[in-house]
Structure 1
Amino acid sequence: MNRVLLNNIDHADLRVLAGHGVAYGDAINQTLLLPTEFEAAQREYPILIRKDAAGAYQAVALLGLDRDENLFLDETGWNARYIPAVQRRGPFSIALQRDELGAEPRPMIHVDLDHPRVSRNAGERLFLPAGGAAPYLQSVNRTLSLIHEGLEVAGPMFAAFDELGLIEPIDIEIKLDDQTSYDVPDVFTLAPDRLAAVAGTDLERLHQSGLLRAAWAMIASMGNIEDLIARKTRKRAASSGLA
């Protein structure tokens, strides 16, 4: 990794390959999902809750059933109406950095020059000839802002859900046929009956903070497991020559 602060002088000719594929790290069966994108993501993916290495809750989109399997990815790219922000950001990230005058640190865009999407002769331009941000970089900036805001919301959101006893473990068992079945281990969801029973000041707090909407989006997303199974079934049929 060779992460540096992005600027329009050193990186005036930098380009980024904007497609999706195995070579760009998209062959994954789960990816981090942030509260700021639940509403869009719940139309496509099951949103599950997992614990990270430190034991903190985080949301993930379930993309496949086998290891390194993304059922939304094929030779044409990522086929979904919404692509999770952490997969769209490519070689870019946000880091807090102080200016030369030592003011409060502010988020700045960094780029990994060793990332497989980075190019000098193909792909989307980052800067216009006069030095301004090209449309692609403007899109990247919006994606990074979505991630930055989502990371700030995620901790308090899960703390609120946990305090109200809404988080519960879930057993996901998927049977494709008599010989093939899958278990998705160590995952959690929100209990819809408990959420529906929240009342009074707790309900008002969830509503005013926007967390009530996020909670119902997570619950509604579980219906996408059936679509995931259908995608897996079609993939198996195609690989066996039955499609």
Structure 2
Amino acid sequence: MAKQLLIYDRATPINADTHKDVSVKMTGAYGFARDVNSVPIVAAEFSAAAADCVIVFAGTAEAVFPAVLLGVENDRNEYVDENGAWIGRYIPAFLRRYPFVFAQNPDGNQLTLCIDEGFEGVNSDGRGERLFDSEGERSSFLQSQLEFATQYQSQYLRTKAFCDRLLALDLLEPAVANFTGDDNQPRRLAGFFRIDRAKLKALSPEVLGEMFASDELELCYVHLQSFANIETLSIKLAENAARGQSLQ
């Protein structure tokens, strides 16, 4: 699995002194995500992401978090074309919030909104949306980005609780995805976890009832159903390989 935070080059805390004259021109392109083959998603995204992505659990046997597979090679995202356009049905919130991100202070008790100063749309020329107005107050644009990041963080905590329950119930197992490569040869992708359907069905009625009431049971089955999208990923791999050959 790829290192997702590589999309951030210089995540810097936002403040009115440093960024008083800074504007952000949102390009609508996703070239910054071209080199990642997976990104995290939160529980609220499962249904939408399952439209054309495979949802897995990335991490270790002690700590996992959901992610969507975007490619089968470490440095290749099959959902971004050569012009940086997204060619899938659903764009993960992790990417939609870019170039903004929350970062914890060293004590871990406070979150600060940061911006990737390496993003091509960050400028001091007045292009796009300003971060602060002439009085040094947050602009409506910055406020909306803060609200989006806050909502994401809230969903992150809910999703972490869901993952903790899966681990406590010992429902996860190492998994592999079998697919056809761009050379039409069988390939395998490993290094992630999936829910063991048999163990899920064997849970007690009381535990299943709790998971049903919290919508966690639905998340489990959406995750399992999403593995049907391995074929979608294989098709994108072949289409992108053909497109690359046609551009040569």
Matched letter for residue 35 of structure 1: A
Q: Deviations over 1:77-122 (max 9, x none)?
A: 122332212222223222457xxxxxxx654422243444422233
CA distance in 2, matches of 1:106, 1:113: 21
Instruction: Give the conservation status (yes or no) of the 8 Å contact 1:36–1:146.
Output: no
Residues 1:89 and 2:94 are matched in the alignment: no
CA distance in 2, matches of 1:2, 1:163: 36
Name 1:73's counterpart in structure 2.
Answer: 80
Mapping of 1:1-243 within 5 angstroms? Answer: 3-8=11-16, 10-18=18-26, 19-22=28-31, 24-51=32-59, 55-74=62-81, 75-95=83-103, 107-121=111-125, 122-127=127-132, 134=139, 136-176=141-181, 180-241=185-246
Distance 1:214 1:133, change over 3 A: farther
Distance 1:86 1:168, change over 3 A: same
TM-score, scaled relative to structure 2: 0.77
Q: Deviations over 1:56-84 (max 9, x none)?
A: 21221100122321111111512233221
Equivalent residues, number: 235
Q: Once the 2 structures are TM-superposed, how far is the Cα of residue 127 of structure 1 from its aligned partner?
A: 4.4
SS of structure 2 residue aligned to 1:20: coil
Q: Once the 2 structures are TM-superposed, how far is the Cα of residue 200 of structure 1 from its aligned partner?
A: 2.0
What stretches of structure 1 of length at least 5 have no aligned partner? 98-104
What stretches of structure 2 of length at least 5 have no aligned partner? 1-8
Instruction: Give the conservation status (yes or no) of the 8 Å contact 1:36–1:150.
Output: yes
SS of structure 2 residue aligned to 1:240: helix
Matched letter for residue 164 of structure 1: L
Distance 1:142 1:231, change over 3 A: farther
Instruction: Give the conservation status (yes or no) of the 8 Å contact 1:49–1:189.
Output: yes
- Farther off after superposition, 225-234 or 37-46: 37-46
- Farther off after superposition, 120-129 or 149-158: 120-129
TM-score, scaled relative to structure 1: 0.79
Q: Deviations over 1:151-183 (max 9, x none)?
A: 322332122112333212222121247753321
CA distance in 2, matches of 1:33, 1:13: 33
CA distance in 1, matches of 2:196, 2:202: 10
Name 2:3's counterpart in structure 1.
Answer: none
CA distance in 2, matches of 1:86, 1:136: 18
CA distance in 2, matches of 1:126, 1:81: 30
Distance 1:201 1:217, change over 3 A: same
